[in-house]
Structure 1
Amino acid sequence: MLSIGQLATYAGTTVRAVRHYHAVGLLPEPPRDHSGYRTYDAATVVQLVRIRTLAEAGVPLARVREVLDAGPAEFARAIDGVDRRLRAEIEERRQHRRRIAALTPGDGLALPAEATAYVERLRGLGFSEAFVDGQRDAWVLIAARMPEQMPVYMRLKDAQLDEPRTLELFRLLDAAIDADPADGDADLRRIADELVSLSEEDDAHPPLDGPDVMPEELARLIDAFMVKSMPRGRRLLELIEARGWSGVSQMERTPDAQG
């Protein structure tokens, strides 16, 4: 008779594995000696070797008993099913490896290449890291929700960086991030006026090749992110609303203003 350690050694596995096979019902509990220890015979060694062989071949433990008890035809079908599953898993792992190989550090981790280039251009124009990080994180949210629209967004945004008016607005927003609230909100009023002016122009002459309308819940999420990262962000939203518009990421006329 063999102890559990001897059984594991003979079968080329571990005591922990043997106990697990007992726990899941693959290996029946053996009789115990007068001291309460499990005792095993040669037949159990053979059974355990078969279990280990199937498990190491990739057969799920939940199907090992089915395969062990199957006749030749059923065995072949079961193994074929396991083989198909393993092939699918191998292909999935290959795809994971391709995705891992394509990962880039920093801004490119969660952004498409065109958005990464846009963020890098902002950095090159001298904007603060706080402003650039806020822009980057907003585009991460948009890319996750509207990936097919990112090329359109980035083409428009990249063109806007060539416009002095946009650059001036961005510099005002950048300066407002860390501005002292005690200094008043003249800067925020100027920003709100400019945002509303630009939105009115877009409303009157929408771009022919513009992106799809941003989903409302996404716009709210980005605005909430702006409020959290910009101490006076909520005040900016209030000033925009006082001018008959709402939001920042997807500005729309308020119902009262439309009426």
Structure 2
Amino acid sequence: MLTIGQLAGYVGVSTKTIRVYHDKGLLPEPDRDASGYRRYGAGAAIELIKIRTLAEAGVPLARIRDLRSAGDDEFQRAIEEIDAGLSARIRGMRATQKRLRQLAEGRLLAIPAEVTSYLEELTRLGFSERWVALQRDLWILVFTTHPEVAVALFRDQAEIMADPKSRGLFLDYDRAHDFDSHDPRLEELAGRIVDATRERYGTGELPGVETDSAIPALIQGAVNASSPAWRRLDTLIRTRLGQA
């Protein structure tokens, strides 16, 4: 026979936990012996192991108490349900672990493989690391917050980049980052970008997410905050497109 301390040590729980199980009606409390100590037999140890296993699987104590009085079939069904739930939690934790490791490696990409390939191609085409990082953050935001339109928007962008003339405009936009905000080249670049935009989309509404979304402004705000020249360029473009 075991004392409560010995039982706790063998099963791997604290004596306080055993007393909680007594109070909750999960584990019968044995009578005291002649010395005034409660003694636990093998049956109590086995029951405690079952309770500990269920508790570690996340089963509430009230549910564990109900299962103690369940028949074999009901108990088996409950165990299968618990196992399925635990498997789902494990899958979720593994996915979280993967994202955590990606975050630690600086590559948390909530974006499809084709976008990743596109970003790698931008570097090869001569875009700055700053531009590629901004594009990555942009597409992470769009794919996370507006997945219903993200693919169409991305493919439109990729098609534009495939055209050497259009790609040249974006390269010039990238290089304008370090211009003085009053540099006359910004006026000329804004004009070329507006002309190209109207040539592709006409004078109607430009493609994008729903008009009440705060994400486009959030993205453009992050871009503009990194460069006074980019901020002025954005203002010039919006004014000429009638979006100011």
TM range (shorter): 0.7 to 0.9
1:51 and 1:64 in contact (8 A); partners too: no
CA–CA distance in 1 between the matches of 2:115 and 2:231?
A: 26
* Match status 1:242 vs 2:224: no
* Match status 1:193 vs 2:191: yes
Aligned-pair CA distance for 1:54: 3.9
Taking only aligned residues, the RMSD between alpha carbons, in angstroms, comes to 3.8
| 1:43-93: CA deviation from partner (whole Å, max 9, x where unpaired) | 6x633531322432547142221122x153xx5324412312312432564
Matches within 5 A, 1:60-75: 60-62=59-61, 63-68=63-68, 70-72=69-71
1:235 is matched by which residue type in structure 2? R
Change (3 A) 1:85 1:92: same
* Match status 1:76 vs 2:65: no
* Match status 1:137 vs 2:134: no
* Match status 1:42 vs 2:40: yes
Matches within 5 A, 1:70-219: 70-72=69-71, 76-90=73-87, 93=90, 100=98, 109-181=109-181, 184-204=182-202, 213-215=208-210, 216-219=213-216
* Match status 1:14 vs 2:12: yes
1:116 is matched by which residue type in structure 2? T
Structure 1 segments of 4+ aligned residues over 4 angstroms from their partners: 26-32, 94-101, 103-108
Single out whichever of 119-128 and 86-95 deviates more from structure 2: 86-95
Identity %: 28
Aligned-pair CA distance for 1:113: 1.2
Normalised TM-score (structure 1): 0.69
1:227 and 1:234 in contact (8 A); partners too: yes
CA–CA distance in 1 between the matches of 2:229 and 2:195?
A: 21
Normalised TM-score (structure 2): 0.72
2:224 and 2:230 in contact (8 A); partners too: yes
Q: Which runs of 5+ in 2 are unaligned?
A: none
